[in-house]
């Protein structure tokens, strides 16, 4: 007999442009989970640092996060290359991470009642934000494929970029995200590795759905 889904928490970590966001979105929609792309919060703070420098202070950022509406994280300005690189740089700051973490933890453990749970993706979700997640995934793909995907995404948004610039900036972010002292990107032992290099979006979705269904229907 099919078990009714009670409350599930899904944690996903991944390097930049590995397709985690696309998969997390479709999985969240399928199981009716609150989805949070945690990188967007770092991007929002990076945007403030670059374009609204005067507001880049603890009290304003605190206020901004406290009053954060998830819809505001969808702005395409947050996707540009300069914002990506700055996001990766400010994400090394322990005070910035502290500000962001409580918001993320609240989304993960207390999503609005209409949801069956939560699904968060980022760099430290599987071991810092939701260490007791019901499902943990580490989603990756090879560097050139990630750069190509991100380049095509940015082209679609009419951003002026070259493939080489995107490749360079993803490389730089990988280096920083994997090697930083605080909350580095890593695959935890209890995370399932999904390599999306040769998988379509649909194939990735089905692979993860199969893993989740097997567990919740057992």
Q: Does 122 bind ligand C5P (CB under 6 A)?
A: yes
CB of 125 or CB of 147, closer to ligand C5P? 125
Residues 6 or more apart in contact with residue 76 via CB below 8 angstroms: 157
Within positions 148 to 187, which residues make up the interface with ligand C5P, using CB under 6 A? Answer: 173, 177
Shortest distance (Å) from residue 1 CB to ligand C5P: 37
Q: Does 117 bind ligand C5P (CB under 6 A)?
A: no
Q: Does 87 bind ligand C5P (CB under 6 A)?
A: yes
Q: How many CA atoms lie within 13 A of 30 on its CB side?
A: 15
CB of 39 or CB of 117, closer to ligand C5P? 39
Q: Does 49 bind ligand C5P (CB under 6 A)?
A: no
Q: Does 91 bind ligand C5P (CB under 6 A)?
A: yes
Q: Does 111 bind ligand C5P (CB under 6 A)?
A: no
Q: Which of 142, 107, 102, 141 is nearest to 121 (CA)?
A: 107
Q: Does 86 bind ligand C5P (CB under 6 A)?
A: no
Which residues are near ligand C5P by CB under 6 A? 16, 38-40, 42-43, 84, 87-88, 91, 122-125, 173, 177
């Amino acid at each position: 007999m099919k078990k009714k889904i009670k409350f599930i928490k899904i944690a996903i970590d991944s390097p930049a442009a590995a397709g985690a966001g696309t998969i997390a979105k479709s999985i969240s929609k399928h199981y009716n989970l609150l989805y949070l792309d945690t990188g967007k919060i770092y991007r929002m703070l990076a945007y403030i640092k670059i374009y609204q420098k005067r507001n880049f202070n603890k009290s304003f950022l605190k206020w901004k996060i406290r009053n954060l509406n998830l819809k505001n994280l969808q702005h395409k300005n947050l996707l540009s290359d300069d914002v990506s690189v700055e996001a990766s740089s400010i994400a090394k700051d322990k005070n910035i991470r502290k500000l962001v973490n409580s918001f993320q933890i609240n989304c993960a453990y207390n999503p609005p009642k209409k949801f069956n749970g939560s699904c968060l993706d980022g760099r430290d979700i599987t071991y810092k934000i939701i260490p007791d997640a019901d499902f943990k995934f580490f989603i990756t793909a090879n560097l050139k494929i990630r750069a190509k995907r991100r380049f095509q995404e940015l082209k679609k948004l009419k951003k002026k970029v070259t493939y080489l610039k995107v490749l360079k900036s993803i490389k730089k972010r990988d280096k920083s995200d994997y090697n930083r002292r605080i909350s580095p990107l890593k695959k935890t032992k209890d995370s399932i590795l999904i390599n999306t290099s040769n998988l379509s979006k649909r194939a990735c979705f089905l692979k993860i759905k199969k893993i989740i269904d097997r567990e919740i229907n057992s």
